[in-house]
Amino acid sequence: MSFIIGICGGSGSGKTSFIRDIRKNFPTSEVCIISQDDYYKPREEQKVDENGVKNFDLPESINMVEFASDLTKLSKGETIQRVEYTFNNEKSDPALLTITPAPVIIVEGLFVFQESNLWNKMDLKIYIEAEESSQLIRRIKRDQLERNYPLDDVLYRYQHHVKPALQLYIAPFKPKVDLVINNNISYNIGLELLTSFIRSKINK
């Protein structure tokens, strides 16, 4: 059986960069990563707020059934394929992702702790935190540069969608996890700890 690590944190907390750095330390034969970002429901199925703006920062914006199903397949040693989600960026061409099973599976996303069936499958749960100002700055940079979102849209979504989602659905899990990694300035210590821990699991 694979060892499953869940990584959660608010939007802009640094999850993507943290996991990218973990990825650099291990081949896909040792560690595989499944991201909830690739399980967003189609745009037309997303809920809208009181101003008619689609809200992607809700647990129901994710296809939890398919996500849980693919995690189960990976843990059983099956390879999965998934079309990359490009966040409605017309400048990006989605890739076909092939994820092969490995001794360690990293599960990451905003709402990976929401479903009890997912929570119970995770052997180690990690929360990445950062101050609100740091999260907002990272969100602006990412959404403007990588996702081609206008600044007004980014700020509106942060105030009306992102921040409430953090308070309602994400932050309440912080006291319940096994490890909290502070990323106000750097997550390097947390990265070293997790890298060493994963190596110990692989080398058993």
DSSP 57-101: -SGGGB-HHHHHHHHHHHHTT--EEEEPP-TT-TT-PPPEEEE--
Task: Give per-residue pLDDT as tens, 16-44.
Answer: 899 999 999 999 999 999 999 999 998 89
The pLDDT, as a whole number, for residue 178 is 97
pTM of the model: 0.90
**CA distance linking residue 29 with residue 104, whole number of Å:** 9
pLDDT at 130: 87
Handedness of CA 120, 123, 128, 129 (dihedral sign): positive
Mean pLDDT, all residues of the chain = 91
Would you call 126 helix, strand, or coil by DSSP?
A: strand
Average pLDDT of 69-85?
A: 94
pLDDT attached to residue 31: 97
- Asked if pLDDT for residue 90 goes beyond 60, the answer is no
* pLDDT above 90 (res 170): yes
Tokens 């499958």 locate to 121
pLDDT at 88 over 70: no
- Going by pLDDT thresholds of 50, 70 and 90, the confidence category of residue 131 is confident
Q: At CA 10, angle to CA 57 and CA 156, rounded to 5?
A: 50
Start-to-end CA distance of the chain, whole Å, equals 13
What is the pLDDT confidence band of residue 89, given thresholds at 50, 70 and 90?
Answer: low
Backbone angles phi, psi at 162, to 5 degrees: -65, -50
Residue 165, burial from CB neighbour count under 10 angstroms (0-12, 13-18, 19+): buried
Q: Which residues contact 64 (CB under 8 A, 6 or more apart)?
A: 39, 111, 114, 115, 118
CA angle 173, 192, 34 (to 5 degrees): 55
133-169 pLDDT tens trace:
778 878 787 777 666 778 888 889 889 999 999 999 9
CA distance 37 to 15: 11
Question: In this predicted structure, what is the pLDDT of residue 77?
Answer: 95
